[in-house]
């Protein structure tokens, strides 16, 4: 993996989130919170999960080395994977794009040497994990893509047309 590839993945992540969020903006509070039967139950639940996981992976990146982006006050927050954030979609629609900007900030800071490194961290159960750093970057983006698929289904169940996942949108 090289810097050009991870930069493209970060751009894709941001563009697709913007397109998905434009559809989420059309939801009312009841639809945002409606139990739709999936693992994360609602659009809110799936969006919270993506946010918390993105946030957690970014903080873990700090175990590789110091990243200036991680000095942002947002990283003073603490979340658990079971947390359900964003009682209102409006709060989500402010915080999620800000997190995407921080993802892009860290991606911009990554060097060729970083891409040769191994990232060590503890998972949510406390188990020690170690992977090549590029694999962890891929996990960050792949995880979000997976759960945006669930949100796409939820939006269809709520009667909202959505077709926001094309990778070519980032090119």
Provide the angle, in degrees to the nearest 10, between the axes of the packed helices 89-109 and 3-24.
Answer: 170
pLDDT tens-digit profile, the chain (171 residues): 899 999 999 999 999 999 999 999 999 999 999 999 999 999 999 999 999 999 999 999 999 999 999 999 999 999 998 899 999 999 999 999 999 999 999 999 999 999 999 999 999 899 999 999 999 999 999 999 999 999 999 999 999 999 888 888 777
Can you give the CATH number for the domain in which 25 is found?
A: 1.20.120.450
Domain holding 61, by residue range, is: 3-170
Total count of domains within the chain: 1
What the block records as the tokens of 80 is 């658990």
pTM: 0.95
Q: Which residues contact 94 (CB under 8 A, 6 or more apart)?
A: none
């Amino acid at each position: 993996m090289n810097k050009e590839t991870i930069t493209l993945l970060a751009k894709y992540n941001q563009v697709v989130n913007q397109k998905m969020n434009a559809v989420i903006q059309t939801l009312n509070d009841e639809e945002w919170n409606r139990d739709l039967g999936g693992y994360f139950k609602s659009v809110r639940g799936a969006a919270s999960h993506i946010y918390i996981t993105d946030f957690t992976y970014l903080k873990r990146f700090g175990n590789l080395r110091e990243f200036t982006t991680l000095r942002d006050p947002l990283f003073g927050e603490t979340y658990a994977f079971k947390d359900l954030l964003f009682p209102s979609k409006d709060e989500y629609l402010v915080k999620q794009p800000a997190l995407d900007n921080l993802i892009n900030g860290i991606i911009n800071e990554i060097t060729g040497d970083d891409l040769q490194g191994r990232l060590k961290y503890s998972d949510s159960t406390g188990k020690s994990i170690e992977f090549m750093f590029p694999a962890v970057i891929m996990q960050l983006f792949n995880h979000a893509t997976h759960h945006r698929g669930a949100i796409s289904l939820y939006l269809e169940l709520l009667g909202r047309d959505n077709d926001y996942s094309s990778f070519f949108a980032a090119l």
